[in-house]
Amino acid sequence: MQLQENRILAPLTTFGIGGPARWFVDAQIEADVVEASAWAHERRLPLFVLGGGSNVLIADAGFPGLVLHIALKGVEEQDAGADRILFCVAAGEDWSQCVERAAKADWAGIECLAGIPGTVGGAPVQNVGAYGQEVSSVIGRVRAFDLQDRRMVEFDAEHCGFSYRKSRFNTTDAGRFLVTRVDYRLQRGGAPTLKYPDLQRAFPSGSTPTLAEVAAAVRRIRASKGMLLVDCEPDCRSAGSFFKNPVVPEDLAHRIEFMTRNAPPRFPAGEGKVKIPAAWLIEQAGFLRGFSRGNAGVSTQHTLALVNRGNATASEILALAAEIRSTVEKKFGVVLQPEPVFVGF
């Protein structure tokens, strides 16, 4: 393991924001993970696990402990019978490339998750989802290092506590497990998921697109919303959606409709509740695409993404997020929850 000092973190994040890590290790193999975490443990240093940096906002002052960057590589395929394949991928592999590989091989289950930035190890942490699929639906097993009991462990999907943008890894056991490998159960030759209207519209009705065509269509739709990482695209300097879509009681949705004289899009969420797009609330609160406060702004292509317009600091992004949050709360009584992880604050 190679220990680095005062490594600047901004270039390792999609926001392009963040000060130095006091200590930094690039973990290439599981043994690096074990050794580096023991090193931090002995010195009572806080430890932060960094994947692709696509869902974090790192403080301008950086992180005072050890940042363990997950760079574990390796991909394996195992036959799982009955048209199933077990696709075993190391945590440091690029998630988007993993989806491309599966779609090309005609293995169904993750084609709608094409173009989501980040690593394979980061995906189960917030149970990434898009265009009608969530990664939890195909996860067979997650291998991880338990930083508390200091041993390798494996979880079935049922023991990962998955729900919308949640898992045990970012709720009850946040910071305890360091994911080193994820095994996906994919269906050989399975049909693509075409649930979302945006995606359905990409194909003539009655046609049967391949998985690779669906993945390509998802990437095109994402690109049109600034949600695909593209070099030199200013709206890409973000962490994707900054707020989660709130789930509210149905009568509150009716009140919001009455106040705005405009019906919010709503999706049933059970128990008399509905999910409303956070982007819709933010727009109704007066923050339109392209809105700016200094170097921080709202993406010109997607209201839900806060972007670094050049040399934004973490404090500027946080101040804009706080302004949006309090305006939406005052106007509609809905408290928006941020999606990215705040590091070093």
The residues that are catalytic are 165, 241, 339
Is 10 in a helix, a strand, or coil?
helix
Binding mask 233-252 for ligand FAD (x = CB under 6 A): ---x-xxx------------
Residues 135-174: x where in contact with ligand FAD by CB under 6 A, - otherwise, as a string: ----------------------------------x-----
Stretch that binds ligand FAD, among 58-66, 112-120, 151-159, 323-331 (CB under 6 A): 112-120
Backbone angles phi, psi at 52, to 5 degrees: -85, 0
| Interface with ligand FAD (CB under 6 A), residue from 103, 128, 312, 336 | 128
Residues composing the chain? 345
Is 308 one of the binding residues for ligand FAD (CB under 6 A)? no
Query: Crossing angle of helices 250-260/314-332, nearest 10°?
Result: 90
Binds ligand FAD (CB under 6 A): choice among 125, 202, 217, 282 = 125
Q: How far is the CB of 79 from ligand FAD (least distance, A)?
A: 26
- What whole-number distance in Å separates Cα of residue 301 and Cα of residue 14? 17
Q: Out of 108, 147, 227, 279, which residue is the one contacting ligand FAD (CB under 6 A)?
A: 227
CB 250 within 8 A of CB 244: no
DSSP type of residue 149: T
Cβ atoms < 10 Å from Cβ of 174:
12
Cβ 181 to ligand FAD shortest distance, Å: 9
Binding residues for ligand FAD restricted to 70-99, rule: CB under 6 A: 70, 91
Taking CB under 6 A as the rule, does residue 229 contact ligand FAD?
Answer: yes
Q: Which stretch binds ligand FAD (CB under 6 A): 53-61, 210-218, 293-301, 316-324?
A: 53-61
Q: Is 296 in the site for ligand FAD (CB under 6 A)?
A: no
Interacting residues of 19 by C-beta distance below 8 A, sequence separation 6+: 8, 9, 10, 58, 59, 60, 61, 62, 63, 344
Q: Which is nearer to ligand FAD, 58 or 256 (CB)?
A: 58
C-beta of 51 vs 277, nearer to ligand FAD: 51
* C-alpha–C-alpha distance, residues 227 and 13, integer Å: 15
Closer to ligand FAD by CB, 218 or 328: give it.
218
One character per residue 265-284, x = contact with ligand FAD (rule: CB under 6 A): --------------------
**Tokens encoding 228:** 């695909």
Could you list the beta-strand ranges (E) of the chain: 3-8, 20-27, 47-50, 56-58, 63-70, 75-79, 84-90, 107-108, 129-130, 133-134, 139-146, 151-156, 177-188, 247-249, 267-270, 273-275, 292-293, 296-298, 306-308, 341-343
Residue type, 203: F
Residue 117 or 192 having the CB closest to ligand FAD = 117
Among 110, 317, 324, 341, interactor with ligand FAD by CB under 6 A? 341
Alpha carbons within 13 A on the beta-carbon side of 4 = 13
The distance of closest approach from Cβ of residue 165 to ligand FAD in the complex, given in angstroms and rounded to an integer, is 6
Whether 106 contacts 210, CB under 8 Å: yes
Asked if 55 touches ligand FAD (CB under 6 A), the answer is yes
Joined tokens for residue 10: 């901004």
**Comparison of 122 and 277: residue with beta carbon closer to ligand FAD:** 122
CB of 338 to ligand FAD, least distance (A): 12
Binding positions for ligand FAD, rule: CB under 6 A: 14, 48-56, 70, 91, 116-119, 121-123, 125-126, 128-130, 169, 178-179, 227, 229, 236, 238-240, 341
